Amino acid sequence: MIKESLKIFISDLKNSSKDLLPIVAVVAFFQIFVIQKTPDDLISICIGLAIVAIGLALFIRGLEIGIFPVGENLANDFAKKGSVFWLLTFAFLIGFSTTIAEPALIAIANKASVISDGRIDAFYLRLTVAFSVGFAIALGVFRILVGHPVQYYIITGYIIVVSVTFFAPVEIIGLAYDSGGVTTSTVTVPLVAALGIGLSSSIKGRNPAIDGFGLIAFASLTPMIFVQVFGIIVYNFGSTGETAVLASGTVQAVVERFGMYNLLLEFLGVIKDVAPILLVIAFFQYLIIKKPIPHLKKVIVGVVLLIIGLDAFIVGLELGLFPIGESIAYALTGMGNNYLIYLFGFMIGFSTTMAEPALIAIAMKASEITKGNINQSTLRIAVAFGVACGISLGAFRLVSGTPLHYYIIAGYIIVVVMTFFAPKYIVPIAYDSGGVTTSTVTVPLVAALGLGLAENIPGRNPLIDGFGLIAFASLFPMITVMGYGIIAQYQNNKKKLNKENA
């Protein structure tokens, strides 16, 4: 039993290390061949990356044996039960509880709190984002039930996002746009995708390819609206708070930041973050569905692994990914060659996205449901290319100092126009692809790059200019995936025409 468990853990550790490998390769290339300098606190960074890999391995294993099976069973039971009220309530609470515990959101919220000197409270920011995702999942489930086209909701959402932007304080806009990307990651995507596809498969008259996808897009869109409204309230009626300074990246600083007492508090905080998911699942399993949880002991083990993994992941981020992202940004800005910054953004975006587990899962499901009309490898390349272009353009925006929302509004206009030309089956998948690209590994590094550039380029404000790269990484895959769909449709039509004429 112990040998088998150890073998599974080693396999999971290999997979999580493989997810980190593209990032390490890009970072090593720039450090050795471009910057030509060993990073400060190299030992600390290596320890942090190792902790991230171990934490991610434990976290994903905990999800697979603890949370996912129970969540999928509940989704299927609700589809059979046919109660709209409880289904919508379940959708809301699953969206809320998975988001409040999302590692990438925790990291970004803590960073925003530090940069704003506590004015943006990390907990209330996470609460706002979690509520918006819960609302989004419930709205998305309602859309599947009534059979409305997804683009009507998405286009309406874009109009609201842009409208609120003109009233929101400049300090919150970049963070609000980024919050849409950090919500749909390791915890949320599989559960939400399973819920959407499961529902559309069990409801007569629904198409899993057209109706099943789209929930992730909703979960990426609504936080942009809610966080901007949150910013309007905070900057008009709130007061400046106090916050602790994050670790500098050195081993000594991290020991001070994560002493034994603080490590215990951090661990208890993680338990508090995961507790809402467990309470939601237990409530619906025992009081609404009225069925015992299958393989309860295995589920309990999974939950314990998830908590330990999440705690290790957060500690590892502070040691490893944040410091290396900021140090490379500092080094590149000091070299006076902006093209190197854009190249780094492109390579990081492409390499991390190609290895993103959530994207691989969605691509496989898309290929299966569309019966091969969507090639999973081509879809992944299209998404990765979109992310790479997005981060590169986002870095250019930051260097040039132009307002973020001009780019985002232009991007939305392109997405809306392409929606009317892209094949119907590709549109929901394209909308979802923007959400699955920003992973728990990618987000901290991309955020660190943006904040590092903003801190080191004269005239930039980290709070106003430092956020926004994640928004670019979420927006551009929609454009590239719909572009892929349009090209594929044109080629298929051309082949049919040639066959008819032959």
Of 175-179, 249-253, 418-422, 470-474, the range with the lowest mean pLDDT is 249-253
Cα(104)–Cα(182) distance, rounded to whole angstroms?
6
321 pLDDT above the threshold of 90: no
The answer to whether 447 and 111 are in contact (CB under 8 A) is yes
The answer to whether 289 and 74 are in contact (CB under 8 A) is yes
Residue 406: which of 180, 157, 231, 174 has the closest Cα?
A: 174
pLDDT band for 242, please (50, 70, 90 cuts). Answer: very low
* CA angle 27–32–36, rounded 5-degree value: 120
pLDDT, residue 247, reads 38
pLDDT band for 483, please (50, 70, 90 cuts). Answer: very high
pLDDT, residue 258, reads 53
C-alpha dist (Å) from residue 41 to 62, 224, 254, 320, 502: 31, 36, 11, 10, 67
pLDDT band for 220, please (50, 70, 90 cuts). Answer: confident
SS (H, E, C) 263-287: HHHHHHHHHHHHHHHHHHHHHHHHH
pLDDT, residue 164, reads 94
Cα(39)–Cα(52) distance, rounded to whole angstroms?
18
Cα(354)–Cα(245) distance, rounded to whole angstroms?
34
Q: Give tens-digit pLDDT for 82-97.
A: 678 888 888 898 888 8
pLDDT band for 391, please (50, 70, 90 cuts). Answer: very high
pLDDT, residue 249, reads 39
The structure tokens listed for 230 are 């949150």
pLDDT, residue 1, reads 59
344 or 19: which leads in pLDDT? 344
**Exposed, middle or buried by CB within 10 Å (0-12, 13-18, 19+), for 36?**
exposed
Across 282-292, average pLDDT? 85
For residue 372, give the amino acid letter: G
Q: Give tens-digit pLDDT for 169-205.
A: 988 998 898 887 777 665 567 667 777 877 787 777 7
pLDDT, residue 397, reads 93
C-alpha dist (Å) from residue 297 to 58, 74, 267, 293: 17, 18, 22, 9
49 pLDDT above the threshold of 70: yes
Q: For the chain, give the percent of residues with pLDDT over 70.
A: 88
* CA angle 468–128–77, rounded 5-degree value: 110
The answer to whether 96 and 276 are in contact (CB under 8 A) is yes
Looking from the CA of 346 toward its CB, the CA atoms found within 13 Å total 11
Cα(208)–Cα(201) distance, rounded to whole angstroms?
6
Mean of the per-residue pLDDT values for the chain?
82
Q: What are the residues whose beta carbons fall under 8 Å from the beta carbon of 82, sequence distance 6 or more? A: none
113 pLDDT above the threshold of 70: yes
Across 365-376, average pLDDT? 78
Max Cα–Cα distance, the chain, nearest Å: 77
Cα(440)–Cα(437) distance, rounded to whole angstroms?
10
Across 10-16, average pLDDT? 82
For residue 284, give the amino acid letter: F
Q: For the chain, give the percent of residues with pLDDT over 90.
A: 18
